[in-house]
Structure 1
Amino acid sequence: MTHQIIIVTAGIFGMLAVIFGAFGAHALKKRLTPEQLQSFEVGVRYQMYHALVLLALGFSSYNITTTTFWCFTIGIVLFSFSIYGLVLSDVKRKKMRFLGPITPIGGLLLVAGWLLVIVNAF
């Protein structure tokens, strides 16, 4: 995996986290319950955390494996974006319940990405 691809991916996720965070704080604040807003913010926060991890790995001399990159990338999509979908569909009273089981799968992929960072350090 090239460092350039990792950095670009990190930049896209970071940019989207800022956009989604602003969207949640301004456009959705009056439409969401406090619990829904908190869930939405968890998705944004975890997306940004992992965008920053990818950015750090991309700029480091550390050789990130393709598997590590994909664990973080797919983990972000499954975890954060499933939360966004659950919250937004709940607002429209058409909750996409099938997304519920996807969130922990994304979380497991994020954990696997961290584990691979540790394993690859040795």
Structure 2
Amino acid sequence: MKIFIVIGVFAMAIGVVLGAFGAHGLKARIEPNLLAAYQTGVEYHLYHALGLILVGVLAYQFPDVSGLKWGAWCLMWGVLLFSGSLYLMAVTGIRWLGAITPLGGMAFIIGWVWIGWALIRSA
């Protein structure tokens, strides 16, 4: 599960870079509503990168808990689908990409529920 700590740490670094790019590089170039969508993508990206680190740490604390890995994969897919679709939509202006965003949101929800259920089952 160390892999999720590593993925989470690099996802945090990428999230900070993308946040700075949005604040400094996109602010004057895209519509305010697209910039807001981009910033939402960054926000959820950073939250769930921290979540990946947390799941990795939980796996060390509770090595016998099965299911944490699947929850972490869902969080990672959530970042890619949710935040990624918002980033692409904001930068390209292709608004139908917003239809992908809820799939990422569902991946986040499934991931967190899966992680919680795995921890409850192990008690």
TM-score by length of 1: 0.87
Question: Share of identical aligned residues, percent?
Answer: 36
Change (3 A) 1:48 1:74: same
Q: Which has the higher helix share?
A: 2
Aligned residue in 1 for 2:38: 40
Contact 2:42-2:83 within 8 A present in 1 as well: yes
Contact 2:55-2:72 within 8 A present in 1 as well: no
Shift of residue 117 of structure 1? Answer: 1.7
CA RMSD of aligned residues (A): 1.4
Aligned residue in 2 for 1:12: 10
Other structure's SS at 1:30 match: coil
- Taking the TM superposition and a 5 Å limit, the aligned residue runs for 1:96-107 are 97=96, 99-107=97-105
The aligned amino acid for 2:112 is W
Aligned residue in 2 for 1:78: 81
Aligned residue in 1 for 2:55: 57
Runs of 4+ in 1 over 4 A off after TM superposition: none
Shift of residue 84 of structure 1? Answer: 0.4
Ranges in structure 1 where 5+ consecutive residues have no aligned partner: none
Aligned residue in 2 for 1:110: 108
The aligned amino acid for 1:44 is V
TM-score by length of 2: 0.87
Ranges in structure 2 where 5+ consecutive residues have no aligned partner: none
CA distance in 1, matches of 2:16, 2:45: 10
